[in-house]
Structure 1
Amino acid sequence: MKTDALERFLPEAPEGWSREIDTDMAQGLAFMGGGVGAGADYEGPDGETVSMSLMADNPMVASMAGMIANAAMMGMTVERVGRQRIALQDDQAMALIGNRVLLQAEGAAPEVLMSLIEQVDFDALTGFG
């Protein structure tokens, strides 16, 4: 049930794009210490693809927190969506939401990733549980 609830926070596909929910992600989390996860793959009209995942209550979330908090010192670019910090490097983006949900997106230019990330309801996701 929590996986389905987390899945609802994945943005819809932009106009002209398609979205496919990754139904195997929750099984993979068992090998990474448990937790809840949801993911989706997006494909644009020109064949460009983006993968986005959300993980909650997983040991990997805690290990990534320090890196995201110090993203600028690690040579990453930091963007904001409202009050939410997004760490960008090459074709990857990461954010820690509410100190327990890790958002990762990868596979496209930062402006494409950000256009998807901007659709996430960070306030609601902070209260996920």
Structure 2
Amino acid sequence: MNWFDLAIYFQRKEKWNNSYHDSQLSANYNGRERRPSESVRPGQALKNQMNMNRPYRSIVKMIVLAMVLTVFAGLAYGNDDITTSISEALEYYKNGDYTEAVSSLNYAAQLIQQKKGGSLESFLPNPLEGWKAEDTTSQAAAGAGMFGGVSAERQYQKGESSVTVRVVTDSPMIQGMMMMFTNPAFAVSDGGKLEKIARQKAIVKYKASEKQGDIQIMVANRFLVSIEGRGVDKADLKKYAEAIDYKKLAALP
């Protein structure tokens, strides 16, 4: 089982626990009145009411956020595609067209994520001596699940050797990886070892016989740095990991 599979496992486990808890509540009280002897769990009534109002509250939050962003973004950057989309969303909202309002806000959010992905590119290291590097790339996946989030990556080559450095944030996968960093048993379950690289906790997995491996580093519980190599010495793999400014990355908004 690799890091990605373990991350998926932890995410699905949490969702299953939540679903099981909800089904138990439904089974206990579905189809009949609650008896006087059955006490209501503290805060459950309020929680139920909040769940009923969730769609309305979500729209209100999005509109309030849009208003704030419009004011500050307009002052700082003037008119661009992001502020234009937010302004359009407000107009749609005022006219009662909530579907188009949400669509415009989602589009603005996607553009903001793209800008965030661009800022991550600056943390990808320059190639080591004797290595060549491709241009940096970034993407913002708005979809739900393990593949959502913002990421930036760069590939490096030296003859038959190759290394890929990737920085990921705002992804559900990070939650699963965090559990691996806090539980050594899971961290070493697939041949990994806990090490310190540039003062950061790292999970290092390397097969000397195949000259391939990867390094996973969690930064400020928000960023996952991944260095993967094939046909590469472990020393070079660690050098790419050490070339990243983790202190600056942790301070990124």
| Aligned equivalent of 2:179, options 66, 79, 86 | 66
Indicate which of 238, 241, 253 corresponds to 1:114.
238
Q: Which has the higher contact order (CA 8 A, sep 6+)?
A: 1
Whether the 8 Å CA contact 1:92–1:110 is kept in 2: the answer is no
Q: 1:5 maps to which residue? A: 119
Alignment of 1:102 onto 2:224:
yes
SS of corresponding position for 2:168: strand
Secondary structure of the equivalent of 1:26? strand
Distance in 2 between residues matched to 1:120 and 1:81, nearest whole Å: 10
Name the CA shift for 1:66/1:43 in 2 (closer, same or farther; >3 Å). same
Alignment of 1:84 onto 2:200: yes
Q: Comparing 105-114 with 84-93, which one deviates more in the overlay? A: 105-114
- Pick closer, same or farther for the CA change 1:53–1:80 going to 2, 3 Å: same
Deviation at 1:117, TM superposition (A): 0.6
Distance (Å, rounded) in 1 between the aligned partners of 2:201 and 2:234? 14
Matched, 1:128 2:252: yes
Which amino acid is the alignment partner of residue 39 of structure 1? E
In the alignment, what sits opposite 1:49?
162
After the TM superposition, which parts of structure 1 deviate over 4 Å for at least 4 consecutive aligned residues? none
Summarize the alignment of residues 22-33 of structure 1 with structure 2, pairs less than 5 Å apart.
Answer: 22-23=136-137, 25-26=138-139, 29-31=141-143, 32-33=146-147
Report how far residue 19 of structure 1 moved.
Answer: 1.1
TM-score scaled by length of structure 2: 0.46
Offset from partner CA, 1:24-82 (integer Å, 9 cap, x none): x515x3454532110010112x3200011000111111111111333455342122124
- 1:99 alignment partner AA: N
- 2:152 corresponds, among 26, 38, 57, to 38
Separation (CA, whole Å) in 2 of partners of 1:47 and 1:83: 30
Greater per-residue strand proportion: 1
Percentage of matched positions with identical amino acids: 31
Paired amino acid for 1:43: Q
Is the alpha carbon distance of 1:69 and 1:39 closer, same or farther for their aligned partners in structure 2, counting shifts above 3 Å?
Answer: same
CA apart distance, 1:16: 1.3
Larger Rg: 2
Q: Distance in 2 between matches of 1:65 and 1:117?
A: 18
- How many residue pairs get aligned? The number is 126
RMSD across aligned C-alpha pairs, in angstroms?
Answer: 1.9
User: Residues 109, 68 of structure 1: CA spacing in aligned structure 2 closer, same or farther, 3 A cutoff?
Assistant: farther
Q: 1:68·1:94 contact (CA, 8 Å) conserved in 2?
A: no
Point out where structure 2 has 5 or more consecutive residues left out of the alignment.
1-114, 207-212
